[in-house]
Amino acid sequence: MSTTRPKFKNPRAKHDFKGRTVSITGVGAYVPAKAMTNFELEKIVDTTDEWITSRTGIKERRIAAKDEFTSDMAARAAQRAMKAAGVTADQVDLIIVATITPDMVFPSTACLVQQKIGANRAAAFDLEAACSGFIYGLEIAQQFIMSRTYDTVIVIGAEKLSSVVDWTDRNTCVLFGDGAGCAVLQSRSNSHGLLTAVMGADGSKAELLHMPGGGSRCPATTQSVNARLHFLRMEGKETFKHAVQAMVSAATEALRRCDLKVSDMKCIIPHQANRRIIDAVGDRLNARPDQLFINLDRYGNTSAASVAIALDEAVSSGRIHRGDLVLLVVFGAGLTWGAAVIEW
């Protein structure tokens, strides 16, 4: 028996195993029809379009209808990604939904998505890594595929943040939006694919961005509702500082693992939380402005859906073509962070 390892077409793919690569074979996204502009927010809280635009870069965000839930948006994004990948529902082995706004505490949103898309063979679970969830999902999907447990995994980032935003708190309500994005991951022989994914966390700073109510620590009571504990809370300035540091170091580590440089990247897709965070990360990485993909002006911060929606838009708008190198980099509550390098 030969002990020689096969020669890989793609020498950078660190996770190649006997010539198999984990490829993203399709992406898709869905955002609700209703756009809420900064001018509409001026009527709700003490804010201005000028403040929101200059401090965040956000001009509008999408708001889901009352009867439109995270699982509905996730299912729509999944169906679009599966169509792009040429994958039918019965081919899906595993559904991973990254979200902090599940339809309900249990069962998982992934199970509801399974039913909605008719992927009856698929296993399904949710993962919670806040805004970093999509990258965590890519890494988990990659491991399942490389171990040959599953062949076709769909990773969805989906959020209805409008349901947990305190619409009386100008510090947070101007920042967030709803939507979903999905990637189909499959094993391919000697092909392009996910080169590496990095994940990180620091639970000592959990208080910076959290929702106190609704879990086992603080179940819903009249008092907890009156104290507005079922809405998200954020210490913006401190979160901002950690976001820049963590995203720069995650991106640097992901590139180091692949022996690649920032200048090799055709496109860098950062978590869409704040334009000033994106610019600071870009500056520290010495990225050219034209490498950075930005769509937060139209969607705000959609947490786990953010880079998934952006990746879909980068592909459909022609910013990324097959063979291009793409860097995804994220940061979120937890704290959590991550980065992924993809040869598209």
Binding of ligand UT7 by 21 (CB under 6 A)? no
DSSP state letters, 289-301: GGGB---HHHH-B
Q: How many residues bind ligand UT7 (CB under 6 A)?
A: 21
* Whole-number Å distance between alpha carbons of 112 and 90: 16
Binding of ligand UT7 by 38 (CB under 6 A)? no
Binding of ligand UT7 by 174 (CB under 6 A)? yes
Binding of ligand UT7 by 200 (CB under 6 A)? no
Can you tell me whether residue 229 is helix, strand or coil? coil
Interface mask toward ligand UT7 for 233-252; x: CB under 6 A: ---xx-xx--x---------
The strand pairing partners of 331, in sequence order, are 337
Interface mask toward ligand UT7 for 286-325; x: CB under 6 A: ---------------x------------------------
Which of the 8 DSSP states describes residue 176?
Answer: B
The residue at minimum Cβ distance from ligand UT7 is 236
Which member of 51, 200, 230, 257 binds ligand UT7 (CB under 6 A)?
51
On the CB side of 338, CA atoms within 13 Å amount to 24
Q: Is 131 annotated in the active site? A: yes
- Of 330, 280, 282, nearest to 130 by C-alpha is 330
- Catalytic residue among 182, 267, 271, 274, which? 271
- Catalytic residue among 38, 182, 267, 301, which? 301
87 alpha carbon, distance to own chain's centre: 21
Report yes or no: 156 and 75 within 8 Å, Cβ to Cβ: no
Q: Is 301 annotated in the active site? A: yes
50 φψ region: left (φ > 0), alpha (ψ -120 to 50), beta (else): alpha
Q: Is 15 annotated in the active site? A: no
- Catalytic residue among 131, 173, 182, 267, which? 131
Binding of ligand UT7 by 205 (CB under 6 A)? no
91 alpha carbon, distance to own chain's centre: 23
| Amino acid occupying residue 124 | A
Burial zone of 89 (CB within 10 Å; 0-12 exposed, 13-18 middle, 19+ buried) = middle
Tell me whether residue 102 or residue 332 sits nearer to ligand UT7 (CB atom).
332
- Of 188, 203, 221, 215, nearest to 322 by C-alpha is 188
Interface mask toward ligand UT7 for 108-147; x: CB under 6 A: -----------------------x----------------
Task: Show which residues are catalytic.
Answer: 131, 271, 301
Which residues of this chain interact with ligand UT7, rule CB under 6 A? 47, 51-52, 55-56, 131, 170-171, 174, 209, 236-237, 239-240, 243, 273-274, 277, 301, 331-332
